[in-house]
Amino acid sequence: MKTPAHLTAFSRLPARPERSLPLAKAAWLTQRRHIVIVSETFAPEVNGVAHTLLQLCRGLLAQGYRVSLIRPLQAADKQTPTHAVDQGWCHDQLLVPGMPLPGYHSLHFGIARSSRLRRWLAEQPVDAVYVATQGPLGLAAVRAAKALHIRVCSGFHTNFHNYTHYYRVGFLDAWLRRYCRWFHNQTALTLVPSRQSAVQLDAMGIGPCALWSRGVDCQAFDPGHRDSGLRAEWGVAAETPVLLYVGRLAAEKNLPLALRSYTALKRRYPDARLVLVGDGPLRSELTRNYPDVIFAGVQRGQALARYYASADIFLFPSLTDTFGNVVLEAMASGLTVVAYDMAAAREHLRQAQNGLTLPAGDEQGFVMAVERLCREPQLCQRLRQQARRDALTLGWSQQIRRFAQLLLNSSQEVSRHGDKSRDTLVRTG
C-alpha cells in the first residue's frame, strides 16, 4: 500500500533566546547564595537525572548563584577529574568513591561518610543542599546537612520502587517504598516533577512536596535540524513515516509496546522505519530479534537534535518515568508525541491538539494512535506544529528561578526574579 503523504516541509518556528541577567548583576541580586547539589549521577552520563541536573547547574550559575557539586567518581574523571569545573558546570566539587549500581553498571552509588561531608560543608557558608538521589551518598549528605543545621531538600527523580516488577525482585518493593518514605521525610521539602508524582508520594505518606517541573532548550532542539541526508542513511524517502524512541533500552521503559506499534504499522506501511536512540541491557536481544530496526546508540548534542528533527512520530510508552525530558525535546523538535496520559505527557500534551495521549495501560489504543497519525497526515502535521509552539513557552529560566525559590525557602527569591508563581506546595486533597 502506498505510504501516506507525510510532512515534507515544516514551517520553522524560531526559538526566542531566553533572557538572562548579566552575571555580575545576577550575582548582586542573589548575593552569591551558595547551593550544594548532591547526586549519584551527573553529566556526561546519559540519563534524565544527569540531564536535568546539568541544566539546573548551568541555570543557577547564569542567575548568579554559587554552585557546588558532590558526586561519585566517573570514568571521565580518570583523565580529567576537574572536568565539571572546567566545563563551567559548577564552581567546585567533592568527588567520592563509587560502586556500580546493579542493572546500571555505567552508574555508581556514591560511598562517603557523613562526617567527611560535614567537614567539607562546614568549610564554607552554604545556604541550602539539594539531594537528587537517595543512595548512600544522598543519605550521608542529608545527615551532614542536618547536623550543621543547613536546609536540605530532596528530589523525586526516579521510580526505583516501581522497577522491582521489571527486574524480578518484587520482594523488595515494600522495603523500597518504606525507605523512600523515610528518606524524603528526613528533608524539609521534596521537589516533584509532576502533579502525578505528588499524588503518588502523598499516598506513600511523603510530604510536604512542591512542584518543580522541567524545561527544554528550543534553540538546541529545533525542526530546522531535519536532515534529508540522515533520512537517506535510514533508507527512507521524504514521505516515509519514521517512528523514534529516545531513552534507555531497558525493561522498565516498556519497549515491547513501541516494537508492537512498529510491527503493526509495517503491515500497512511496509516502508515505515523505527529508530531507537540509546543503549542499555536489552540492546543485544532487540538487535537479534528486530533486524530491520535502526539502533543508533547514544547520541548527544547536535547529533541528537538531528535524530529528533529527522523523525516524524515520537513514541513514549513508559509507565514508570517520573517525568520524561524526551517528551519536551520531541515537542521542541516538532514531532507528534504518542504517550500514556502520565508524567510529562499529562503536564504538557493536550489530546488531539499537540499530541496523542492514551489512558495508562491501553496498549491497543497506543498502537491505533500511531496508525492514525500515518492515515491522517494533515492531523500529524497540525499536531507537530502546535507541539513546537507550545514547547517555545517551556524554557528553563523560569524553572530555575522556581527551584531557587523552593530550595532557599525565601519569598525574596520570587520578588528578585519576578516569578509570579503561587503554586508552591502541591496539595493533593
Tell me: the pLDDT tens digits for 58-80? 999 999 999 999 999 887 777 77
* Number of Cβ atoms within 10 Å of the Cβ of 427: 11
Say how far apart CA 212 and CA 322 lie, in whole Å. Answer: 12
Position 46, amino acid: V
Position 129, amino acid: V
Please tell me the predicted confidence (pLDDT) of residue 31: 62
Residue 355 DSSP class = B
Q: Rg for the chain (alpha carbons), in Å?
A: 22
In Å, how far are 41, 394, 396 from 8, measured between CA atoms? Answer: 39, 26, 30
pTM of the model: 0.87
**pLDDT under 50 in the chain at which residues?**
1-30, 411-424, 428-429
DSSP letters, 63-106, are: TT-EEEEEEE--GGGGT-TTHHHHTTS-SEEEEE-EEEETTEEE
Give the domains, in start order, of the chain with CATH numbers: 31-215+395-417 (3.40.50.2000), 223-391 (3.40.50.2000)
